[in-house]
């Protein structure tokens, strides 16, 4: 299915490529949102659901470089489709 890259290795890769210099949580949140599939997300409480579309929206969290990030996970037919609106908690 998806090839997962651990967050520590991927963050080092981003730093080496100059994606961000010092660890700025806001900048890191932006990078995580662009590449959300590469991070290990924990599924949280349901925020909302659309039974007609068979979708549900859940709070998602992940920890990267000592920061906890939270976003909105959209599930369709039980499968995670996207994590967006990511911010530092």
Query: For residue 40, which of 78, 20, 76, 68 has the smallest C-alpha distance?
Result: 68
Query: For residue 39, which of 77, 70, 17, 18 has the smallest C-alpha distance?
Result: 70
Distance CA 58, CA 15 (A): 30
| pLDDT < 70: residue spans in the chain | 1-8, 10-12, 14-22
State the residue for tokens 């932006």: 30
Q: Give the predicted TM-score (pTM) of the model.
A: 0.71
b (16+ CB within 10 A) / e for 29-48: bebbbeebebbebeeeeeee
Predicted pLDDT at 21 = 53
Predicted pLDDT at 2 = 43
Predicted pLDDT at 23 = 78
Tell me: the pLDDT tens digits for 36-54?
Answer: 999 999 999 999 999 998 9
């Amino acid at each position: 299915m998806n090839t997962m890259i651990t967050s520590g290795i991927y963050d080092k890769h981003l730093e080496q490529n100059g994606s961000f210099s010092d660890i700025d949580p806001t900048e890191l949140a932006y990078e995580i949102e662009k590449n959300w599939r590469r991070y290990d997300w924990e599924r949280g409480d349901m925020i909302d659901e659309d039974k007609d579309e068979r979708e549900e929206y859940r709070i998602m969290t992940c920890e990267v470089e000592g920061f906890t990030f939270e976003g909105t996970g959209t599930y369709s037919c039980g499968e995670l489709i996207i994590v967006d609106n990511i911010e530092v908690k």
